Amino acid sequence: MGPENTTWRHAAICIPLCTVNSVPSILFTVRSAKLRRHGGEISFPGGSMDPGDIDVYATALRETHEEIFIDPVHVTPLGVFHPMPDRTHTILIHPVLCHVQMPVDPKAMRFSDSEVGEVFAVGLKELVGMETKVERFRDGGREVRNWVVGEGKTIWGLTAWVLEEVLSIIVAPGPKRPTA
């Protein structure tokens, strides 16, 4: 799962597929500005595995419930994508694709304000058809699309990397963007 002789910590994020006003969408959070790390950034619900979590699915469901109060009984895990390292190469993040079985109204959602500043959704069709800006990810050779999804809201970094992967596999399969 990681380079040899490295002890990886594990985390999971939930990519919540949902329906908002009859529109298939993906739910996002804006991290609380109070957080020491990544405050104000767009993300998916998620966090570190706890000793009581039996697997990354359990972590993703628990973190989603803790952050945006969606009860795990209303969420169906669909699969897990290849883990991705954090920028320090000490944490492997496991993206878990999930289906939220009940209609969602992001404007009416309650959430943990110590972790989340806002919840919003973007339609799958809108995401696939949206103009994007391509940037180098982590000053490396990988190019990642960035989505501007509202005033002052840009999906970038690891969240953009995960989103691009999800969209390319489940919505618009096709050749991957070449890496330079």
Tell me the pLDDT tens digit for each residue of 21-32. Answer: 999 999 999 988
- 20 pLDDT exceeds 80? yes
- Has residue 56 been placed in a domain? yes
CA gyration radius, the chain:
16
d(CA 10, CA 90): 9
| Token pair listed for 33 | 């500005």
- 141 pLDDT exceeds 70? no
The count of residues in the chain is 180
| Token pair listed for 49 | 């595995």
The upper half-sphere exposure of residue 99, i.e. CA atoms within 13 Å in the direction of its Cβ, equals 6
- 36 pLDDT exceeds 80? no
Structural contact between residues 86 and 95, judged by C-beta atoms closer than 8 angstroms: no
pLDDT confidence of 38, banded at 50, 70, 90? low
Task: Kindly give the pairing relationship between strand 116-123 and strand 23-31.
Answer: antiparallel
Tell me the pLDDT tens digit for each residue of 49-75. Answer: 999 999 999 999 999 999 999 999 999
Domains of the chain: total: 1
pLDDT number for residue 138 = 60
Where b means 16+ CB within 10 Å and e means fewer, 123-140 reads bbeebeeeeeeeeebeee
- Has residue 4 been placed in a domain? no
pLDDT number for residue 105 = 96
| Token pair listed for 10 | 């594990």
- Has residue 98 been placed in a domain? yes
Please give the mean pLDDT across all residues of the chain.
87
Full domain range(s) for residue 50: 9-171
Residue 39 is part of a domain; what is its CATH number? 3.90.79.10
pLDDT number for residue 1 = 43
Structural contact between residues 45 and 29, judged by C-beta atoms closer than 8 angstroms: yes
pLDDT number for residue 158 = 87
